[in-house]
Amino acid sequence: MTKKEETLRNKVEKEVVYTKAETGTRKRKKSYVMDLRVHTPASAGYFGIEGIDTAPALVSLAKVKGLDLIAVTDFYSGAFIDPIMEAANGSSLSVIPGTNLRCRIGACDEVVLTCLFPENFRSTDVENFLRRMSVPAQARGHREFVVMKSISEIISDVESMNGVIMPSRMDQTPHRMSVVPALVEDYGFRTFDLAYPDSAAIFKKRWPKIKFNLFSFSNANSLAQLGTRTARVKLPELDFASIRTMTQREMVEKPGAA
């Protein structure tokens, strides 16, 4: 084998990942374009277009923009999950159900968490989750409401349903940034949706040995904003299981811990 052939083989082998050992099969990772923070008219302040049916329009635009996967993450609402999933049924676009909520860590009550759930979740499942979080009906769609449950309780509830959490826009202000060390070191978050892509340097400088997934999604609040910020990610499959594996938490062992 020539040196060129060996180099090519090594390059290909690096792109191969293995599935469960018992299957004895292997799959090649593919690149997918995703936007995991998309809002709909269920979020207050959404800029809708009169006479346009948002769900099919959103799905069509996502395909035009080359998106493979989106997550529907309205603040305190799952109302538009079913319509968008129905509009995407049979298309090449995958849809992850979710919601955004806001909680408190210490003195900071601006901790925004994007909660994502398996593909079989529907609007009613997300609404049931929000009821368990004691979110009143009048708070639906409004980011000003603060969930009074602790972040540990929120994490436990979401993960009990095989869901995942991605802290979002925590670099937007110094006040929010002040709780990022707790999110990383106390709660083990490794995936963040950043307001400013340049903030990635802060993470790498403070935690050089930790491997982060640092994204900057659109936070789309209108059709026009959909896909303005995306991520191209290599995954074994375009499904929620792959997203969950990518975003799972990892606890940091503190000095002196037994």
Asked whether residue 75 is domain-assigned, the answer is yes
State the Cα–Cα distance between residues 73 and 81, nearest whole angstrom.
9
Q: Specify whether the CB–CB gap between 75 and 100 falls below 8 A.
A: yes
Asked whether residue 255 is domain-assigned, the answer is no
Which domain, by its residues, includes 144?
A: 29-247
Asked whether residue 130 is domain-assigned, the answer is yes
Question: What confidence score (pLDDT) does residue 202 get?
Answer: 96
State the Cα–Cα distance between residues 208 and 202, nearest whole angstrom.
10
Phi, psi of 109 (to 5 degrees): -105, 25
Asked whether residue 254 is domain-assigned, the answer is no
- The pLDDT profile of the chain, 258 residues, written as one tens digit per residue, is 444 444 434 433 333 343 444 445 556 789 999 999 999 999 998 987 777 899 999 999 999 999 999 999 999 999 999 999 999 999 999 999 999 999 999 999 999 999 999 999 999 999 999 999 999 999 999 999 999 999 999 999 999 999 999 999 999 999 999 999 999 999 999 999 999 999 999 999 999 999 999 999 999 999 999 999 999 999 999 999 999 999 999 875 555 444
Element (H, E) at 156: helix 151-160
Q: In a 3-state reduction of DSSP, which class is residue 127? A: helix
The model's pTM is: 0.86
Q: Specify whether the CB–CB gap between 235 and 29 falls below 8 A.
A: yes
CATH of the domain at 189: 3.20.20.140
Chain centroid, CA 235 distance in Å: 14
Asked whether residue 20 is domain-assigned, the answer is no
Asked whether residue 258 is domain-assigned, the answer is no
State the Cα–Cα distance between residues 161 and 117, nearest whole angstrom.
8
Asked whether residue 39 is domain-assigned, the answer is yes
> Each residue of 235-244: b (16+ CB within 10 Å) or e?
bbbbebebbb
Asked whether residue 19 is domain-assigned, the answer is no
Q: How many domains does the chain have?
A: 1
Q: Which amino acid is at 139?
A: A
Distances (CA, A) of 216 to 114, 203, 210: 13, 14, 19
